Structure 1
Amino acid sequence: MPDSATPVEPARPARRDRVHRLLPPVVAWVIANLVTWLVAKQSVAADGSAVAFWSTDARDRWDSAHYLSIAHTGYEMFWCRERHPDFRDVICGNVAWFPGYPMSVRVVSATGLSYEFSAVLIAELSLLGMFAVLWWLLGARLGWSTGLTLAIGTVFPGGVYFHAIFPIATGTLALLVCIAGVKRGSWALSAAGGCVAVACHPVGAVAIGMLLLSAFFAWQGDPWPRRLAKAGLSAAVAGCGLIWVKWLMWRATGRWDAYEVIQESSYGQGELRRPFEEMGKAYGFPFSDWYRPEGQLSWLVEHSLAAHRPQLWLNIAFILLILATAAVRLVRNRRLEVEEWAALVLVVEIFLLPFLAGAEMSWYRNHAQMFVGLVLVRRMPRWVQVALLACCSIQYVLLTVMFFGGVLV
């Protein structure tokens, strides 16, 4: 008979099981970086040289400069001709970009890291977090459906911005946390995720709409008054992210409407657009005429200069597949899971938002946050998942080459 005082050894199989559960999102993150690195090797930088993916310079494109300037010196707004006499008479500055991501860069840079390295580090850690939260939402069990879903995530349309000095990965992680909070029945967690999403990017405002609607599909164990209270309170807290954005801009510029002023003056935005008309403008935007890398272009680079066009078709196909999957589940099972309802609402909002607001040159990075729709992709038939993976892989290569060539803003 064993001695009762003998210590019991920890259950090694249980420990291995926990490791196996944590491993898939890490592997997905590594594969996402390796795929992007391999594509970057085939790209051409603005000066005609090869792209060094592992450098911070390769991740710094167009709007990245504005995020870094906010992290370094804060907000500013001025008439362009005050500093650039030959420029057109519009408002300049960096108040068209939200502070959630650059302020986190400022915090990390306080450790002594450069602003550029801090920005890349936050983006990559956010991407790792995206895979981890998605994996939890998928049930953290490796199978064909969950494995293929993670694989699609590694080459998700527009996913090159997850690696760049942009807030797309951080904002998407926040939206996934918001979904996780709704699934767990934690209004505080969902509100925190929504607040960060709103503070990172204008697209994050979709979290407010989803949280308001959550009273109809979440918090099922509560009576209606409490469900309405949780939905309203979480949406209100998420909206505080926008108040913080406005306060920072007001403190630097003296104007609460600084964001709206620069959007209207410099970008002609600020009112609702006709979505199908905006889709046409987005599809027809002449990137290949607007900018071409120097020197003799390879076949891949030459054919990537109009990669935004098949990107739009792929995004439309993705949203239609999500809607079809949700419809089939509602017919067969008479219900969707709470996280599936949340992801469905967010995906529809994210798809429509840039075409309602007007974003003919940046909709593809906004749509990258439709990554949250992978929660429903696991419900698709295997052959659909495989076809989607193949299409996403091809398009990921083309749009990524377009990005590293300096064409995409």
Structure 2
Amino acid sequence: MIDMVPGRARAQPALPWRPGWRHRLLPPAVAWLVTNLITWLVAGASVTGDGSAVSYWSTDGRRRWDSEHYLSIAERGYEMFRCRDRYANFPDVVCGNVAWFPGYPMSVRALSATGLSYEVSAVVVTEVSLFGMFAVLWGLLGARLTWATGLTLALATVFPGGVYFHAMFPIALGTLALLVCIAGVKRGSWGIAAAGGFVAAACHLVGAAAVGMLLLSPFFAWRSDTRPVRVAKAGSAAALAGCGVLWAKWLMWQATGRWDAYETIQRSSYKQGGLRQPFTEMRKAYDFPFSAWYTPEGHLPWLVEHGLSAHRTQLWLNIAFVVLIVATAAVRLARNRRLATEEWAALVLTVAIFWLPFFAGAEMSWYRNHAQMFVGAVLVRYMARWVQVALLALCLVQYALLGAMFFAGVLV
């Protein structure tokens, strides 16, 4: 800009570019519509001979296994009991719904107060959270459409395991919360970061990775503050985020009278608890016989037939994604001597989310937990374009295969 005062001309700093509402909302809205369209097509191509797949637009099409537990928490709260007290022929283990966290079902309960059914409320919470994920990610990408950001958003529409972003599960809400946590750290707002971390931790144990990221944040965030203030902000944000887990345990204690209700059912019914050898658990997850455990009856469409072992290619793709994210961060660090605050946060969360299910022994559910590595898309825009295109193609194919497993009823 030029100062037009007579006899004087001097340069003025250009005003920062501020995207309007169209730049901020239109690309996320398009991404949300595209991912729903793709998922609808996958669901339609997954109808088996016995009709085991149902309409994508029905609430039944979004319910699988653990969805029943989340809905029961929303409707009736927590419960825990000896299985044989109610089911005479059942093994003598602990039953109930205290193995699932309250963030998502309590959001469903709150929305149901408007008069919507619990099932419809669950789908609405999921889909609104998914749109929020695209919106916050787009903001973290600068809300400016380029080849790099466009390809990143396209990949996000078919992110590995992303079929669970449409299901009655806390994956979309928890991922949105993690992105909000990253945005809070980027903006230097410990309150926003803490709120995002709290919701993430209250939705799923994997969301507690936000606590670890916040504890590490003095090394890469809050740069305008002195070191003691950095530590204070990080510590207070991490403490408040960790209260998401304490809230979950408090609700379980209120209903069952036991602070260890979560650990008890995990140990008794699911043989989980304590730390596992991650590579051993990874092997178990890879070898889990989904196709032998449950195969739909009748004629199997091509997509379902070839998707019955898609959890194996899913694991390879997830490993490749983590490696690419770490390599991208390393290259940027070598070239620029630094990473942006949100890049460090996304890197720490992506690596932590990848490993947490294997340390916990989640051999039947790691693929949906890994969907929260969506936060790593913050770094995808810095990959070479040919890498982005190749990754997008692989993710699209894998999205269809894992989606076929989901809609055919094979996945939990």
TM-score bucket (shorter structure) = over 0.9
Structure 1 counterpart of 2:255? 252
- 1:162-311 to structure 2, matched below 5 A, reads 162-311=165-314
Measure the CA separation in 1 of the matches of 2:242 and 2:33: 34
The alignment partner of 2:95 has SS state of strand
The structure-2 alpha-carbon separation of the partners of 1:287 and 1:46, relative to structure 1 and needing over 3 Å to count, comes to: farther
Cα distance in 2 for residues equivalent to 1:346 and 1:291: 33
Shift of 1:20: 3.1
Deviates more, 1:172-181 or 1:239-248: 239-248
Measured against aligned partners, the alpha-carbon deviations of 1:269-319 in whole angstroms (never above 9, x if no partner) come to: 111111111110000000000001110112221111100000000000000
Change (3 A) 1:267 1:49: closer
Contact 2:49 2:299 in 1 (8 A): no
Secondary structure of the equivalent of 2:411? coil
- Secondary structure at 2:317 match in 1: helix
TM-score, scaled to structure 1: 0.95
- The alpha carbon displacement at 1:17 in A equals 4.5
Residue 102 of structure 1 pairs with residue 89 of structure 2: no
- Mapping for residues 368-407 of structure 1, pairs under 5 Å: 368-407=371-410
Distance in 1 between residues matched to 2:356 and 2:48, nearest whole Å:
31
User: What is the CA–CA distance in structure 2 between the aligned matches of 1:123 and 1:27, rounded to whole Å?
Assistant: 17
Cα distance change of structure 1 residues 249 and 333 upon mapping to structure 2, 3 Å threshold: same
Q: Partner of 1:40 in structure 2?
A: 43
2: distance between equivalents of 1:88 and 1:170? 34
Please list, as runs of the form range in 1=range in 2, the aligned pairs for 1:12-27 lying within 5 A after superposition.
17-27=20-30
Alignment root-mean-square deviation, CA = 1.3
Alignment partner of 1:320 out of 317, 323, 333: 323
> Are 1:44 and 1:293, in contact at CA under 8 Å, matched by a contact in 2?
no
Q: How far is the alpha carbon of 1:328 from its aligned partner?
A: 0.2
Q: Which deviations, in whole Å up to 9, do the C-alpha atoms of 1:23-69 show, x marking residues without a partner? A: 00010000000000000001126942553000000000000000000
Q: Is the 8 A contact 1:249 1:256 kept in 2?
A: yes
Q: Summarize deviations over 1:190-236 as a string: whole Å, max 9, x none.
A: 00000000001111100000000001000001110000000100000
Cα deviation 1:342-384 (Å, max 9, x = unaligned): 0000000000000001000000000000000000001101100
1:130 aligns with 2:110: no
For residues 119 and 407 of structure 2, what CA distance do their matches in structure 1 show? 17
Question: Number of paired residues?
Answer: 396
Q: What CA distance in whole angstroms lies between the structure 2 residues aligned with 1:50 and 1:86?
A: 30
- Deviation, 1:22, is 1.9
User: Aligned to 1:196, what secondary structure does the other structure show?
Assistant: helix
Structure 1 segments, 4+ long, off by >4 Å, are 14-17
Pair 1:373–1:290, CA change in 2 (3 A): same
Please list the CA deviations of residues 161-205 of structure 1 after superposition, one character each: whole Å capped at 9, or x if unmatched: 000000000000000000000000000000000000000111110
Residue 77 of structure 1 is aligned with which of 80, 83, 89?
Answer: 80
Aligned to 2:5: none
Distance in 1 of aligned mates of 2:49 and 2:122? 21
Partner of 1:357: 360
For residue 103 of structure 1, report the CA deviation from its aligned partner: 0.5
TM-score by length of 2: 0.95
2:91 corresponding residue in structure 1: 88
Identity between Structure 1 and Structure 2 (%): 75
